[in-house]
Structure 1
Amino acid sequence: MPPTSQPGKITSWDDGRGYGFVEPLDPADGPRAFFHIRDYDQGGRRPEIGEIVRYTPERQADGRWRAHRVVRVSLAATRERRLRQAPPAPRPRARGPVGALAMLLTIALWAAALAWGIDTGRLPAMLVPGLAVLNLVTFGMYAVDKRAAQAGRRRTPEAQLHLFELLGGWPAAWLAQRLLRHKSVKRAYRHVFVAMIALHAIALALVLRPAL
């Protein structure tokens, strides 16, 4: 028998990570279910805690419940709460940590600096395949972390992602943020990401400085 839609209430929502949980209004309808922002299609509007919705629960292969087709039913309680509070600060748009053109230019300058360093003997030629592998691993870590977030499993520590960015995997990290729409909204994470790029650039400049 195909799963049917049922009423529920959003009881948890992490806007930075783009996922939350919804509980059925009737406890007899089952346990709470995980849902991702992709399951909530309201014309760009973000979910809110306390929102009454209808959703289709589905049990996954690992035994966890996932909510699909989450649709808003009522926002009366949410609107009443908003009237008693100051207007919320505007949320950042889901985009890369910096503009695409600026990042592409930064990557081009980085690649040129690496080529110059290798040509002058300041950097080993084996650095190129090493960085290629590092960036592939970094992209994979982002993909694994996003799947873990969607399934409600244990996440990859942000410090580990930042370490790989600092070592030279930041181009793949930026690409993953744009293509996977992961880690592209959380402001604090974006600030540290940009700091990792800056620290990597400073370290590279110090290595290449004698060649300038």
Structure 2
Amino acid sequence: MLPIKLEDFLPLEKLQEMNEKEIKILEAAIEIFAEKGFVSTSTNEIAKKANVAEGTIFRYFKTKKDLLKSIIKPTLVKTIAPFEMDRFSKAVFHLEYETFDDFLKALIKNRMDFAKKNTAVIKIIFQEIPFQDDMQVELKRLFKEKMYPKVAVVLQSFIDKGQISEMSVPTILRLIISSVVGLVISTVVLRDSPIWDEELETQRTIEFIKKGLQ
């Protein structure tokens, strides 16, 4: 797993609010939580990874759980999620696509690139979200406000062109998300395996979505 660098996915203004030790602690916590899980990770391990005294962690956070709740959750949900949704939106939805195929290729490439660069963050999201109702609510709100209006316009344009069937936009989006998320997770898990052909599986996923929606 590549070392975690907050500048890869946090806006500059957020980083400037943190001091160097906070950044190191957060980077170490994300990396070890992703690798070992929250329960199996000790604050001593985080301290060693961050190259700080264990007591330094408790200057900022009362407990290990407080570290997760007070820093990682707000960082993932309140900073990374809206920042990444904005960046994703600008990268994918500001363009006009001639075909549904072109749109799917751009969408999948963007998400695959993000997943490869931020594997640890994605692992924590999948580990924590099922048990964190407030995270689920916040992410749903962000998606509804920041993403859905833009993706709905794009999908409706392909419906109007006759390139995909006249199902409801929410249904079309659910089917696309299910397939793309499955591809991304498989790539993160299997990309170093000799049985995994990323290019082939990406093309098969695109064909599967296209045929299902035609």
Q: Please give the TM-score of this superposition, normalised by the length of structure 1.
A: 0.28
TM-score by length of 2: 0.27
Which of the pair has more CA radius of gyration? 1
| Higher strand proportion | 1
RCO higher in structure (CA 8 A, sep ≥6): 2
Quick check: which one's helix share is greater?
2
